[in-house]
């Protein structure tokens, strides 16, 4: 059984879009400051966070932001040392969109990403019957997998996705993750 947590991330996307009123006051434990996120030996500098985005806490994402103007949410997650993360980028991307239906892929390209390759996917799909549009980057580096996702309603997606791109493509790892064991 994969330990990738795809169901948790899918639930997180639903939760972000459907329950923001309760989340707005919550803050993630302070592992993020000055654009740098630290977790389990991984240190990551994200691209510029738009001033209009506000930080929220979402189960299944290390960093999450609400883009009220664009009607969407940006999520970042990193995990290191999981045996299942050795899967191809397309499989890891598939884990992120589990639970969606009526998928229409607009683009799926391999792009440069922090000295490696990432799978960049643009798609439209329904999540719990609600039409959504996604911009997804999945990359692997030094034993870690990096997921960066923007999701918004199709009519509001373009405005938010423009601000999301520098945030996602600006991601840079800092140093090598501490030795991590390959979990079960």
Give the pLDDT confidence of 82-110 residue by residue, as tens digits.
Answer: 877 789 999 999 999 999 999 999 999 99
* Beta strand residue intervals within the chain, DSSP E: 32-33, 36-39, 42-45, 54-56, 63-67, 72-80, 100-113, 116-127, 130-141, 144-152, 172-173
Q: Rounded distance, CA 150 to CA 66, Å? A: 10
Question: What does the buried/exposed string (b/e) look like for 77-102 if buried means 16 or more CB atoms within 10 Å of the residue's CB?
Answer: bbbbbbebbebebeebbbbbbebbee
pLDDT at residue 143 in the model: 86
- Nearest to 81, CA basis, from 5, 183, 168, 166: 183
Averaged pLDDT, 141-164:
92
Residue 147 has pLDDT above 90, yes or no: yes
3-state helix, strand and coil shares in percent for the chain, rounded to the nearest 5:
25, 40, 35
Would you say residue 183 lies in a domain? no
For the domain that residue 25 is a member of, what is the CATH number?
A: 3.40.1000.10
Split into its structural domains, the chain has a count of 1
Would you say residue 179 lies in a domain? no
pLDDT at residue 122 in the model: 98
User: What band does 134 get if pLDDT is binned at 50, 70 and 90?
Assistant: very high
Start-to-end CA distance of the chain, whole Å, equals: 10
pLDDT (tens digit per residue) in 5-49: 544 444 444 444 443 333 333 333 447 887 788 887 678 888 899
Would you say residue 73 lies in a domain? yes
pLDDT at residue 152 in the model: 96
pLDDT at residue 19 in the model: 35
Would you say residue 181 lies in a domain? no
- Nearest to 85, CA basis, from 170, 174, 169, 5: 5
User: What band does 166 get if pLDDT is binned at 50, 70 and 90?
Assistant: very high
Sign of CA dihedral 91, 93, 96, 101: negative
Would you say residue 178 lies in a domain? no
Residue 80 has pLDDT above 70, yes or no: yes
Q: Can you name the residues that pair with 55 across neighbouring β-strands?
A: 65
Q: What is the overall mean pLDDT for the chain?
A: 81
Domain that holds residue 109: 6-173
pLDDT at residue 181 in the model: 39
Would you say residue 24 lies in a domain? yes
Would you say residue 1 lies in a domain? no
Averaged pLDDT, 97-125:
95
| Predicted TM-score of the model (pTM) | 0.78
Residue 168 has pLDDT above 60, yes or no: yes
Would you say residue 180 lies in a domain? no
């Amino acid at each position: 059984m994969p330990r990738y947590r795809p169901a948790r991330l899918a639930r997180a996307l639903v939760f972000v879009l459907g329950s923001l009123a309760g989340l707005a006051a919550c803050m993630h434990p302070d592992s993020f400051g000055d654009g740098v996120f630290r977790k389990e030996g991984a240190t990551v500098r994200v691209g510029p966070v738009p001033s209009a985005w506000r930080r929220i806490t979402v189960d299944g994402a290390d960093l999450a932001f609400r883009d009220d103007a664009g009607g969407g949410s940006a999520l970042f997650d990193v995990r290191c040392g999981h045996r299942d993360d050795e899967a191809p980028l397309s499989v890891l991307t598939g884990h992120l969109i589990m639970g969606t239906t009526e998928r229409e892929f607009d683009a799926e390209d391999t792009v440069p990403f922090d000295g490696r390759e990432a799978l960049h996917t643009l798609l439209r799909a329904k999540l719990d019957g609600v039409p959504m549009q996604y911009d997804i980057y999945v990359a692997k580096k030094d034993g870690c997998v990096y997921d960066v996702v923007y999701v918004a309603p199709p009519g509001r997606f373009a405005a938010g996705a423009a601000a999301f791109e520098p945030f996602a493509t600006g991601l840079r790892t800092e140093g090598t993750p501490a030795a991590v064991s390959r979990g079960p």
